[in-house]
Structures are given as structure tokens and as C-alpha cells.
Amino acid sequence: MEERATTDGLTGLTNHRAFQERLAQIHALAERTGRNFSLILTDIDHFKKVNDTYGHPIGDAVLKRVAAVFAGRARKVDIVARYGGEEFVLVLPDTDAEGAAIFANKLREEVAAQTMTSDQGPFAVTISMGVAEYPTDGHATAELIERADQALYHCKHNGRNCVTRASQLA
């Protein structure tokens, strides 16, 4: 029962509500211990076009495949969650923004290397990712999410299929 309440039904990842609870725990621990963590906000580039071109069942398959890549690469201590729609969030305890960006780039490359299938033939998708680090980029969880979101949107407005750290923004 608890698993169903905390898991996204489509992807099998942590759902948004459970993510917020786990993020609060990691944040409280980081505040107490003086340790850092990084948050990566990501979404699938041009996902609406995937749904419009190939249909929603194929879009769902893409979401599942991307989620599997994230879950397969994450450590047991990391949070990997579906944030909403085609957005995902990862929280990496004891990881600075530079380490998180390296990890994010590996995820980005692995997703781009996936071959998706449809009745109309194979295709690929890419992802954009924004990284924020506690406490460097913000102290409150909402502030960290906002900073990661700003970095993600910087990617979106500058060619997509990239990783941007919040500290790289003006």
C-alpha cells in the first residue's frame, strides 16, 4: 500500500509527493551536518512533438525508458522522481554541482544513445538538465528547485540537449 502511495504508476519512480518528503529529510540532514547535496531538474526535449508524432502510448514508452536510464544509474542514496509530465528530478546527497553536472552529462548521453521504436520507425530523444547545489545555490528547498529550473530553462533557450549549473548563470 505504501509503495503504491509513493510510486509513480507509469515510471515506477518516486512520485512528486514522496519526493518532496524525501527532499525535506535530505535537506534537514544537510543543514544539521553541514554537508552538501545537488538537485538535477530535467525534462525531455520536444516531448509534445513525440506525443503528437507517435502517439501517447509511444510517449509513455519514452517516459519509461528515460526513467529506467535514470534509475539504473542512480545510487541507492539518491532520489530519482517523476516531477510531473515529462519532468524528472534527481537529488544526489554528498555531491557538489560539478560532480552532479558530470553525472547529468552521462545520463544525457545515455538517453540520447537510446533507440526508441514506433510504427513510423526508430527515433531518438534528448534531455536538458539544470543543476543546483545546496548550500551554494540556495538554502531553502524551494530556492534550489527554482535555481535548477532556471538552469534547465537556460538549456531550453540555448539549444537543448545540454546540462547547465545554476552557478553558471549571471
| Residues classed as catalytic | 86
From the list 109, 147, 108, 145, the residue with the least C-alpha distance to 128 is 108
- Phi, psi angle pair for 95, to nearest 5°: -135, 130
The answer to whether 128 touches 43, Cβ cutoff 8 Å, is: yes
Buried/exposed code over 62-71 (b: 16+ C-beta within 10 A; e: otherwise)? bbebbbebbe
How far is residue 101 from each of residues 4, 29, 51, measured CA to CA in Å? 31, 22, 28
